[in-house]
Structure 1
Amino acid sequence: MTSTYAVLPYDATAWPPALRRIARPEVLERWGAVDRSPHAPRLVTVAEGDSDGWSAAALVTARPGTAYVKIVDAVGDVPAAVDAVLSYADEQRLAQITWEGWTVSAEDAAAAGFAPLRLPLTHGREEAADEPAGPGSGYVRWTAGEGIAEPPPYYRQSTHFTCGAVTALLARAQAGAVPRHALDREAELTLWRDATNFPACEPVGLGVAVRRRWPAASVEVFLDTDEPVLLDHLSGSEREWRAVLQRASRSDARRSGVPVDGRRLSLTGLREAIGRRQRVLLLVSLATMQGFDVPHWVLCHGVVPGAVVVEDPWFNAAAGETWVDAHLLPVPDASLDAMSLLGEERVRGAVLIGPG
């Protein structure tokens, strides 16, 4: 890999002349079309001999609190640019490099050691007409091992509140209990309707809805509080009637045989569950990754050295994210531990689903 490279600040208002000489105008126009600042954009550059010019450059970004870096585009001498990013990722001890397929061919990506990512299930579907446009391909390279052998499909939630239902459907699709072609908006909204605490899905209600939908699957809920959750932003009657529904969910859990464990699921326990081929629906705050403290469900389905691999059914197109950021996303154990403690009481909610 390239040993000499530079990492420079990214400023879409003042492209360096060295960059303008090797990047097509339409590429720079796309780079500057959104505010990428929330995700630490930077230029990884390779000098051209002893001159002030560059032989290659790549725009890279990443969500805060994660263990990957994404190549938006590589320009100039593309193999040299990618080698520089690989060296950068190695020095940063990152688990993964992804590459958006705006300008790279599948052949060139493969030559650089990248494997293709399966397109999102919503790609090209009529119900996804309002979904932010993204690249028509994406690629991944893991820095240690082969990554995830049988990854789940990627599906972007179609509302701001159906993340719990989508993660459950993705878990069952990965287990083969839901045909991939059947994971659509109707399936998403139908499961959400059965699980919702209006509009969020709290852990016990989500676990009960999963058991109703797939009676043969083993389901277990971990929630280290007896109090209602996800209601800190509400007060008075708006809080009270949702608390009633959460108590009803606990009664439903007892009747349907869904165990609710009052202990906090540790990161060690989460990794062990994945090792048993269980899938973990985990509540996290988006404060670290996106900058706003909103509870959100992700699917934890794989482990790599130092990180847990998750599916995030939402991405922030306004910050330059695409489905490539949210699919097979590695999150370091310490980051995941911190971001999955929610609310004033710092509780953790998780739903474990077995492969049955």
Structure 2
Amino acid sequence: MPPPRDTSVKSTVIPFDPAAPNARLRRLVHHDVLERWRAADRSAHAPRIVAVPGGDGDDWAAAALVTARPHTAYLKIVDAVGDVPTAVEAVVSHARDRGLAQVKWEGWTVNPEVAALGFVPLSVPLAQDAESSGPGAGHVRWLHDGEVTEPPYYGQTTHFTCGAVTALVAQAHAGELARESFDRRAELTLWRDATNFPACEPVGLGVAVRRAWPSSPVTVLLDTERPVLLDQYPQDEQEWRAVLQRASREEAGRIGVPIDSHPLSMTTVRSALGRREHVLLLVSLADMQGFDVPHWVLCHGAVPGALVIEDPWTHTAAGDTWVDAHLLPVPDLSLDAMSTISPDRIRGAVIIGRTEA
């Protein structure tokens, strides 16, 4: 349960301009911290300064740099400076005013005040791509009643293993995969069984999950019978990948993986989560990251107004880190829009049920 509701803190919220920081901000922020803020192009994540005026009204007593992926339901504190508790209270108050589900805090500097301010530590990643960078610690504070259990975070170590990683995270969260067995070998082994070279399409991924965990019920949701995720390839390369997708459909029938062709809805996703199932969801990254490419995420929790996902990929150049991608709340309507894949306009998912006795 979250701590009692914060007292509203009077604050000012302004855009962060890395080229010309506010004079009051420069007087408050240490040079090293400001350089970290400037090291990435955070413009796609709406960087803002939440500032609390000082007693004299001329300077700021506290400030925080906050960012967030577009079309999501959280704020991330990159750093809080000055009177840190007051800065954090101002951010939480601002997040509540916006109706958000969560505030996160990157742990660039570990602060003993974190726990007292209602934040709990996030489990550090099991793995990340070598190109990824991020803090060694992170914290989260939910702004609603209830609990979302935390799966392990694993950052995909290649550009193409997102489908395999989401399945492995789901099974680790369900207790079907020991965390010590969740490594790069497991990632690449499952991808090899699921891939349509190099991507994982829904039927092939569902079949691979069922083969890896025969006692886990698996349902594929895909609203077309045509081969999918092939438009970017030349015709001759589409043809052999289509052959593999047809083979996956035949294998699904043989091993008992149903393929549901009804259009996917967020109501379906919430119903599955209510049954403590996991939903591997195919989305486009256009809204969250600006890249209209297909990508797999894991839906594993629900809060008022948002679904909670694990995203195994981060955009380091935009200041995006594992703290953003882990326990990420996305409004239902936003996730619904993301789950329509262009240009085919398909929707696809794999639901992994609870293990059969």
Per the shorter chain, which TM-score range? over 0.9
How far has the Cα of 1:62 moved from its partner? 0.1
CA distance in 2, matches of 1:231, 1:97: 38
Counterpart among 95, 100, 104 of residue 89 in structure 1: 95
Map of 1:29 onto structure 2: 35
* CA displacement at 1:131 relative to structure 2: 4.2
Q: Secondary structure at the match of 1:2?
A: coil
Cα deviation for residue 145 of structure 1 reads 1.5
Q: Please say if 1:234 is aligned against 2:233.
A: yes
Give 5+ residue unaligned stretches, structure 2.
Answer: 1-6
Alignment check: 8 A CA contact 2:51 2:63 kept: yes
Q: Measure how far apart 1:231 and its partner are.
A: 1.1
Contact 1:55 1:77 in 2 (8 A): yes
1:118 matched to 2:123? yes
> Bigger shift: 320-329 or 344-353?
344-353
Aligned equivalents of 2:129 and 2:142: distance in 1?
32
Determine the C-alpha separation between the residues in 2 that align with 1:20 and 1:343.
44
Q: In the alignment, what sits opposite 1:72? A: 78
Secondary structure, in 3 states, of the residue corresponding to 1:293?
strand
Secondary structure class of the residue paired with 1:294: strand
Residues in 2 aligned to 1:129 and 1:316: alpha-carbon distance in whole angstroms: 11
RMSD of aligned residue pairs (Cα, Å): 1.1
Matches within 5 A, 1:257-272: 257-272=256-271
Deviation per CA, 1:237-272, whole angstroms, max 9, x where unpaired?
A: 011111111111100100111000111121111100
Change (3 A) 1:308 1:191: same
Amino acid across the alignment from 1:338: A
Q: Contact 1:2–1:80 (CA<8 Å) still a contact in 2?
A: no
Aligned to 2:159: 160
Q: State the one-letter code of the partner of 1:119.
A: V
TM-fit CA distance, 1:129: 7.6
Percent of matched pairs sharing the same residue: 64
State the alpha-carbon separation in 2 of the partners of residues 279 and 305 from structure 1.
18
2:10 paired residue number:
4
Q: Deviations over 1:169-207 (max 9, x none)?
A: 000001111111111111000000000000000000000
For 1:10 and 1:177, the matched residues in 2 are separated by 44
For residues 207-255 of structure 1, what are the alpha-carbon distances to aligned partners after superposition, in whole Å with 9 as ceiling and x for unaligned? 0000110001000000001111111212310111111111111001001
Residue aligning to 2:250: 251
**SS of the residue 1:282 aligns to:** strand
Instruction: Give SS of 1:240's match.
Output: helix
State the alpha-carbon separation in 2 of the partners of residues 228 and 42 from structure 1: 43
Aligned match of 1:103: 109
1:208–1:252 Cα contact (<8 Å) kept: yes
Aligned to 2:4: none
Distance 1:174 1:184 in 2: 15
More displaced stretch, 43-52 vs 277-286: 43-52
Q: For the residues of structure 2 that align with 1:202 and 1:160, how far apart are their CA atoms?
A: 15
Q: What is the distance in 2 between the residues matched to 1:229 and 1:303?
A: 29
- Describe the SS at the equivalent of 2:51: strand
The count of residues paired between Structure 1 and Structure 2 equals 349
1:201-350 equivalence runs, <5 A: 201-350=200-349
Q: Once structures 1 and 2 are overlaid, which stretch shifts more, 339-348 or 205-214?
A: 339-348
SS of corresponding position for 1:346: coil
**Please, which moves more after superposition, 53-62 or 227-236?**
227-236
Q: Is the CA contact (8 Å cut-off) linking 1:222 and 1:263 kept in structure 2?
A: yes
2:132 and 2:232 map into 1 onto residues whose CA distance is 29
Which stretch of structure 1 is more off in the superposition, 174-183 or 282-291? Answer: 174-183
List structure 1 runs of 4+ shifted beyond 6 angstroms.
none
Alignment partner of 2:291: what SS? Answer: coil
Aligned pair in 2 of structure 1 residues 325, 86: CA closer, same or farther (>3 Å)? same
Q: Residues 121 and 181 of structure 1 are in contact (CA less than 8 Å); yes or no, is this contact kept in structure 2?
A: no
Counterpart amino acid of 1:198?
A: F
Structure 1 gap segments, 5+ residues each = 123-127
User: Following the alignment from structure 1 to structure 2, what is the Cα–Cα distance between the partners of residues 345 and 34?
Assistant: 34
Check conservation: 1:23, 1:76, Cα contact below 8 A: yes
Shift of 1:50: 3.9
Post-superposition CA distance 1:95-117 (Å, at most 9, x none): 01000011242x31111111111
Task: Please state whether the residue corresponding to 1:199 is helix, strand or coil.
Answer: coil
